[in-house]
């Protein structure tokens, strides 16, 4: 690889969302008529990468899609957003990851996720991307791919002094303890913090306690996102956790807010490495707050040009 270093490399998932809106959820064996269907781009890894790219980060995605229509389409989506795609593999052994989502008129949903090609991303693909990973400013991983691949990628980054952001989502109760040790920033939401610590995380004080427990396990810093309450930031060198409140906005659709937050955080870590983490979190809160004010996941993610200049 000869191009200059990437700001943000994401090793993670890509999913196509197939969304049907219907008056109610069908019962087993039943066929019902819905009134709206749309296809959306999702997957936590891809979402985070695209938010970072829209803020102006030079990004690369390391992932696997199927050799199918959805895979081709997703690669085009990365290109449209300026994401480098040479490390997006296509396989004929599995389909592109898909989430079939049915939403009823009360806004409740039933979802089937088939991870598909995401689970075939492994050490071989990481080796192909080694130069990009080892020269990146920031590496970001989640858990929608094989956990071993995430851990291998984080270790690879660490060995090369690349800053790491780990988002343990979707959370698993038996997370390999090495994930904490390889995370410069360990960023999760309330339910993930609950599952990982066994503590209740329903308010700012409880997020303190859970954050402190996670920090003890060996990460550099912990961020617990708290929806409309913003987030809690804890640093290993400091004993006082900081609550960083969110801007009050009217939320329309909070799907993917956490991914917008993490993508923005990765952008700030890459562009302003000496900025205090609370300040980065404060700005990431503001980016994510924009994303909750529009419908959809990636469709709601702001571009640099849509945001106040004070965020840059």
Ligand X SMILES: *[C@@H]1O[C@H](CO)[C@@H](O)[C@H](O)[C@H]1NC(C)=O
Ligand Y SMILES: Nc1ncnc2c1ncn2[C@@H]1O[C@H](COP(=O)(O)OP(=O)(O)O)[C@@H](O)[C@H]1O
Q: Does 253 bind ligand Y (CB under 6 A)?
A: no
Q: Please say whether the beta carbons of 271 and 136 come within 8 A.
A: no
Smaller CB distance to ligand Y: residue 89 or 302?
302
Q: Does 204 bind ligand Y (CB under 6 A)?
A: no
Give me the least distance between CB of 191 and ligand Y, in Å please.
8
Give me the least distance between CB of 225 and ligand X, in Å please.
8
DSSP-based three-state secondary structure for 170 = coil
Judged by beta carbon distances under 5 to 8 A according to partner kind, the member of ligand Y, ligand X, none in contact with residue 228 is ligand Y
Q: Which residues pair with 222 in a beta bridge?
A: 186, 234
Judged by beta carbon distances under 5 to 8 A according to partner kind, the member of ligand X, ligand Y, none in contact with residue 268 is none
- Binding residues for ligand X restricted to 250-269, rule: CB under 6 A: 258
- Give the DSSP letter of residue 84: B
Q: Does 226 bind ligand Y (CB under 6 A)?
A: yes
The C-alpha atoms of residue 274 and residue 134 are separated, in whole angstroms, by 20
Question: Angle 257-271/277-291 helices, nearest 10 degrees?
Answer: 140
- Residues across the chain: 312
Binding mask 213-232 for ligand X (x = CB under 6 A): --------------x-----
235, two tokens: 């640093």
Question: Look-up: residue for tokens 């191009």?
Answer: 3
Q: How many residues bind ligand Y, per CB under 6 A?
A: 18
Candidate residues 7, 68, 125, 192; the one interacting with ligand X per rule CB under 6 A: 192
Q: Please say whether the beta carbons of 103 and 125 come within 8 A.
A: no
294 is in an annotated binding site: yes
197 is in an annotated binding site: no
Known catalytic residue at 259: yes
Burial string for 160-177 (b: 16+ CB within 10 Å, else e) reads eebbbbbbbbebeeebee
Q: Does 189 bind ligand X (CB under 6 A)?
A: yes
26 is in an annotated binding site: no
Q: Residue numbers of the site for ligand Y (CB under 6 A)?
A: 189, 225-228, 230-231, 246, 249, 251, 254, 257-258, 261, 285, 288-289, 292
């Amino acid at each position: 690889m000869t191009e200059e270093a990437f700001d943000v490399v994401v090793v993670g998932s890509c999913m196509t969302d197939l969304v049907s809106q219907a008056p109610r959820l069908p019962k087993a064996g039943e066929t019902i008529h819905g009134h709206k269907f749309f296809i959306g781009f999702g997957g936590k890894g891809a979402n985070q990468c695209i938010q970072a790219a829209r803020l102006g980060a030079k990004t690369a995605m390391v992932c696997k899609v199927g050799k199918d229509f959805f895979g081709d389409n997703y690669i085009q989506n990365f290109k449209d957003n300026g994401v480098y795609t040479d490390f997006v593999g296509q396989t004929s052994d599995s389909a592109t990851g898909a989430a079939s989502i049915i939403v009823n008129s009360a806004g409740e949903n039933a979802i089937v996720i088939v991870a598909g090609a995401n689970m075939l991303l492994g050490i071989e693909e990481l080796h192909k991307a080694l130069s990009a990973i080892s020269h990146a400013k920031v590496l970001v991983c989640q858990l929608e791919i094989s956990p071993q691949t995430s851990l291998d990628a984080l270790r690879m980054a660490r060995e090369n002094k690349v800053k790491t952001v780990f988002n343990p989502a979707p959370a698993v109760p038996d997370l390999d303890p090495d994930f904490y040790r390889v995370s410069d920033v360990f960023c999760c939401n309330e339910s993930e913090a609950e599952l990982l610590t066994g503590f209740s995380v329903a308010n700012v004080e409880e997020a303190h306690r859970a954050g402190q427990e996670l920090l003890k396990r060996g990460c550099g810093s912990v961020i617990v996102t708290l929806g409309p309450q913003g987030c809690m930031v804890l640093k290993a060198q400091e004993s006082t956790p900081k609550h960083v409140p969110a801007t009050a906005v009217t939320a329309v659709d909070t799907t993917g807010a956490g991914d917008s937050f993490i993508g923005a955080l990765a952008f700030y870590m890459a562009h302003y490495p000496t900025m205090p983490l609370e300040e980065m979190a404060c700005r990431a809160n503001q980016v994510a707050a924009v994303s909750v004010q529009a419908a959809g996941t990636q469709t709601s993610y702001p571009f640099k040009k849509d945001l106040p200049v004070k965020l840059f």
